Amino acid sequence: MRKAIKGFSKLSKEAKIEWITDQYFNQSEEAATLLRKYWHKDAKTQKLHDEFIENTLSNFYTPFGVAPNFKIDGKLYAIPMAIEESSVVAAASKSASYWLERGGFKTTIISTIKIGHVHFIYEGDSQKLKDFFKKIKQLFYTDTESLTANMRARGGGIESIVLKDKTADMDNYWQLEAQFDTCDSMGANFINSCLEQFSQTLQREIKADSRFTLGEQAIEVVMCILSNYTPECVVRSEVSCKISELDGDAGISPEDFARKFQRAVRIAEIEPYRATTHNKGIMNGVDAVVIATGNDFRAVEAACHTYASRNGQYSSLSHCSIEGDTFRFWIDIPLALGTVGGLTSLHPMVKFALEMLENPSADELMSIIASSGLAQNFAALRALTTTGIQKGHMKMHLLNILNQLEATADEKDTIVNFFKDKVVSHSAAVNKFCELRGIPTPQVTSKKS
């Protein structure tokens, strides 16, 4: 019978491990050893990781790889990627080399504004609130001066504050909507601190205004929070070339490849089932770099999928055109990123990743990550419209299968070599492994009648 626990976070790390192994692993020393095995050997580094979150027991490894040969706006990058999916880095690298020979990726920062809200309820006369807002608006800026000083010195700060009437959507619902420029930081703490000050200013001033007979109860602030939807923090990355320069692989002509590729993109534009998978492939390339550079991939994911639905139906984040003899493929993507603050100077691997990218500005990182997403999408569509995705995917997955079977290094070499010119499937890999070891192949029994 499992027991709940009070005050778990107050226990020492050893005591937490003991409790977990006691409750969920039959007090197995093996489970505790596994957790300890993944501790960093340098106690200081381990302590740093322990303190990133609450209740740290160990570390959770994800491969950190690199995709070289990305030419973006004329500059050559080796892009850091933290991801567990076998084929992602290989696909990014393949696309990078492909477009390196065709002019590389070109990017445009469309906008870099982030948004936050004070969500509140007001039941009184609308015009009175609007006049009041006009009268006190400047105070939102002056009351946040100490919070915004550093950001203003860097060229950012609060860009605008407006009062929004949302009563048509929900009874008595109003917003203060503020726009922010957070320069090279992601800016979540900065934005939320400003919003909480706006809320205090709003409540203080309404209490002091004799026209609001209910005093501070004239409004109820529900919450103050930035929005992770950033349709005004958008970057475009694109590739283009003459159709005759395209190489679709697998013997397909450049013209047929361009046409088929464009159709595949069009299907993702109009069909949400396909758009979801299409965009998932883009996020393979996006998230891996977002994570490696210490950014918040949940925020990026949330923003991208809302953006993909902005016209009322979930759709492709990338687009393709064929005009005359020119093939063009591009992505517009919202990316709210930071290259200072947060984990960027704290996590040694994040520091390394950013240094490898030559310490980019947030704008430059937007360009890099959008290009990584586009490269990933290009690789997926190129495979899907020609050879099919499984050929490359299973080749990369073969090592996972062999590792599951605990194959030795020699066995892996032999089997990888064997599959060089063959299609990999799970059962074919298992069969080959068993044949090599001279052991019977496991019988598969179906659970379905």
H/E element, 87: none
Residue 380 gets the label, from left (phi > 0), alpha (psi -120 to 50) or beta, of alpha
Say whether residue 389 binds ligand MEV (CB under 6 A): yes
- Among the residue ranges 33-41, 210-218, 223-231, 280-288, the one whose residues contact ligand MEV (CB under 6 A): 280-288
Say whether residue 166 binds ligand MEV (CB under 6 A): no
**Residue appearing with tokens 């499992």:** 2
The least CB distance from residue 351 to ligand MEV, in Å, is 28
Any residues with CB less than 8 A from the CB of 320 and at least 6 apart, and which? 261, 262, 265, 266, 327, 328, 329, 330
For helices 29-37 and 13-24, what crossing angle results, to 10°? 140
Q: What sign results for the dihedral spanned by CA atoms 113, 114, 118, 122?
A: positive
Say whether residue 380 binds ligand MEV (CB under 6 A): yes
Any residues with CB less than 8 A from the CB of 67 and at least 6 apart, and which? 78, 79, 81, 89, 92, 93, 96, 372, 375
> Using CB atoms, what's the residue nearest to ligand MEV?
281
Any residues with CB less than 8 A from the CB of 80 and at least 6 apart, and which? 64, 65, 66, 289, 292, 293, 352, 353, 356, 357
> Considering 75, 106, 166, 280, which one is annotated as catalytic?
280
The least CB distance from residue 383 to ligand MEV, in Å, is 7
The least CB distance from residue 91 to ligand MEV, in Å, is 8
The least CB distance from residue 278 to ligand MEV, in Å, is 5
Pattern of binders to ligand MEV over 82-101, x per CB under 6 A?
Answer: ---x----------------
**Residue appearing with tokens 């992602």:** 88
- Among the residue ranges 273-281, 335-343, 366-374, 414-422, the one whose residues contact ligand MEV (CB under 6 A): 273-281
> Considering 143, 184, 296, 364, which one is annotated as catalytic?
296
- DSSP string over 271-334: -HHHHHHHHHHHHHHHHHHHHHTT--HHHHHHHHHHHHTTTSS---SEEEEEETTEEEEEEEEE
Residue 172 gets the label, from left (phi > 0), alpha (psi -120 to 50) or beta, of left
Active-site residue, 40 included: no
Say whether residue 280 binds ligand MEV (CB under 6 A): yes
The least CB distance from residue 188 to ligand MEV, in Å, is 28
The least CB distance from residue 268 to ligand MEV, in Å, is 8
**Residue appearing with tokens 């990133």:** 52
Pattern of binders to ligand MEV over 324-343, x per CB under 6 A?
Answer: --------------------
Please, which residue, 87 or 203, has the CB nearer to ligand MEV? 87
Active-site residue, 319 included: no
Residue from 277, 309, 326, 427 that binds ligand MEV (CB under 6 A)? 277
- DSSP string over 70-86: EEETTEEEEEEEE---T
- Among the residue ranges 155-163, 237-245, 279-287, 359-367, the one whose residues contact ligand MEV (CB under 6 A): 279-287
- Among the residue ranges 53-61, 253-261, 274-282, 300-308, the one whose residues contact ligand MEV (CB under 6 A): 274-282
- Residue 446 CB coordination number (10 Å): 5
Cα–chain center distance at 9: 29
d(CA 398, CA 400): 5
> Considering 393, 395, 397, 432, which one is annotated as catalytic?
393
- Among the residue ranges 104-112, 275-283, 287-295, 326-334, the one whose residues contact ligand MEV (CB under 6 A): 275-283
Fill in the amino acid letter for 281: G
Segment 48-87, which members bind ligand MEV (CB under 6 A)?
A: 85
Please, which residue, 114 or 393, has the CB nearer to ligand MEV? 393
Say whether residue 156 binds ligand MEV (CB under 6 A): no
- Among the residue ranges 117-125, 126-134, 277-285, 396-404, the one whose residues contact ligand MEV (CB under 6 A): 277-285
- DSSP string over 12-43: -HHHHHHHHHHHHSTT-HHHHHHHHHTS-SSH
- Helix (H/G/I), strand (E/B), else coil: 60: coil
Say whether residue 319 binds ligand MEV (CB under 6 A): no
The least CB distance from residue 51 to ligand MEV, in Å, is 33
The least CB distance from residue 335 to ligand MEV, in Å, is 19
Active-site residue, 22 included: no
Say whether residue 281 binds ligand MEV (CB under 6 A): yes
Percent helix / strand / coil, the chain, rounded to 5: 50, 20, 30
CA distances, 211 to each of 127, 137, 429 (Å): 12, 17, 78
- Helix (H/G/I), strand (E/B), else coil: 162: strand
Residue from 284, 293, 295, 386 that binds ligand MEV (CB under 6 A)? 284
Active-site residue, 420 included: no
Say whether residue 128 binds ligand MEV (CB under 6 A): no
Say whether residue 390 binds ligand MEV (CB under 6 A): no
Residues lying near ligand MEV in the complex (CB under 6 A): 85, 277-278, 280-281, 284, 380, 384, 389
Task: State the catalytic residues.
Answer: 85, 280, 296, 393
